[in-house]
Structures are given as structure tokens and as C-alpha cells.
């Protein structure tokens, strides 16, 4: 009877191990792109319908595990009411889930054009 009980416990433990391994290898936790685009171009509008941001990149890759986006050679323009847009470029970039943050990396150059209140 003791042997049957031990076999039941062992088979239950083995079943749990197999199920856990299957969950870890389903690909959902891998950091592999699920979508990509070459010569990427994205424009966003503010609540009034005016151009707010424009983002170009040589290549865009989206990662589903953290919903982030990697960019190759991004170029970004930030539009402001009644002013010339800020311009930023880099070799690499990253966009957070939902697009709230954009990170430019490696050889970053940002230019703010001069206006009546401030120099370039």
C-alpha cells in the first residue's frame, strides 16, 4: 500500500513538472519580434487634430512579451503650437508599451530651432 501511495505522489509531481515546462516553452515569454516593418513612418495627432509627433525609422520590430518596439535609425519630430518642430535622430531607438516613452540611443542628435523666445 505504501508503494502505491508513493507512486501516486511521484506521478502527481511528475505531471506538475511536465505541465510547468510546457508553459515555459510556449513562446509567450521569449523576446522575439512578432511584427516588423522597413521604412516605418508613424504620425500622431493631438486632441485638437493637429500633428503632435512624427516618427520615421529604417526598421521597426515589435516585441509582444513587453509590448515594446525597437527602432533602427529613428528620426523623430515633436510639433509644438506656433513653433518649429524639435528634431531628434539616433542609430537606435526604443518605444515603450503604449508609446508613452521614446528612447533614442547611440549618436543621438536633437535640434530645437530658434524662436522669438529662445535660441537654437
Does residue 13 sit within a domain? no
Does residue 82 sit within a domain? yes
Does residue 91 sit within a domain? yes
Q: How confident is the model at residue 94 (pLDDT cuts 50, 70, 90)?
A: very high
Write the secondary structure of the chain as one string of H (helix), E (strand) and C (coil).
CHHHHHHHHHHHHHHHHHHHHHHHCCCCCCCCCCEEEEEEEEEEECCCCCEEEEEEEEEEEEECCCCEEEEECCEEEEEECCEEEEEEECCEEEECHHHCCEEEECCCEEECCCCCCCCC
Does residue 93 sit within a domain? yes
Distance, first Cα to last Cα, the chain: 85
Read off the pLDDT of residues 10-68 as tens digits, 9 standing for 90 and up.
677 777 777 765 555 555 567 788 888 999 899 989 888 889 999 999 999 998 888 89
Write the CATH number for 95. Answer: 2.60.450.10
Q: Which domain holds residue 91?
A: 35-111
What pTM was estimated for this model as a whole? 0.68
Does residue 23 sit within a domain? no
Does residue 106 sit within a domain? yes
Does residue 107 sit within a domain? yes
- The count of structural domains within the chain is 1
Amino acid at each position: 500500500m505504501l508503494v502505491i501511495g508513493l507512486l501516486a505522489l511521484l506521478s502527481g509531481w511528475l505531471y506538475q513538472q511536465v505541465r510547468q515546462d510546457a508553459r515555459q516553452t510556449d513562446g509567450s515569454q521569449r523576446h522575439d519580434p512578432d511584427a516588423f516593418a522597413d521604412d516605418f513612418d508613424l504620425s500622431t495627432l493631438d486632441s485638437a487634430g493637429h500633428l503632435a509627433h512624427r516618427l520615421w525609422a529604417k526598421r521597426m520590430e515589435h516585441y509582444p512579451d513587453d509590448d515594446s518596439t525597437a527602432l533602427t535609425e529613428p528620426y523623430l519630430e515633436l510639433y509644438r503650437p506656433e513653433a518649429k518642430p524639435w528634431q531628434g535622430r539616433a542609430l537606435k531607438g526604443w518605444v515603450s508599451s503604449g508609446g508613452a516613452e521614446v528612447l533614442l540611443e547611440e549618436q543621438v542628435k536633437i535640434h530645437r530651432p530658434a524662436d522669438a523666445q529662445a535660441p537654437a
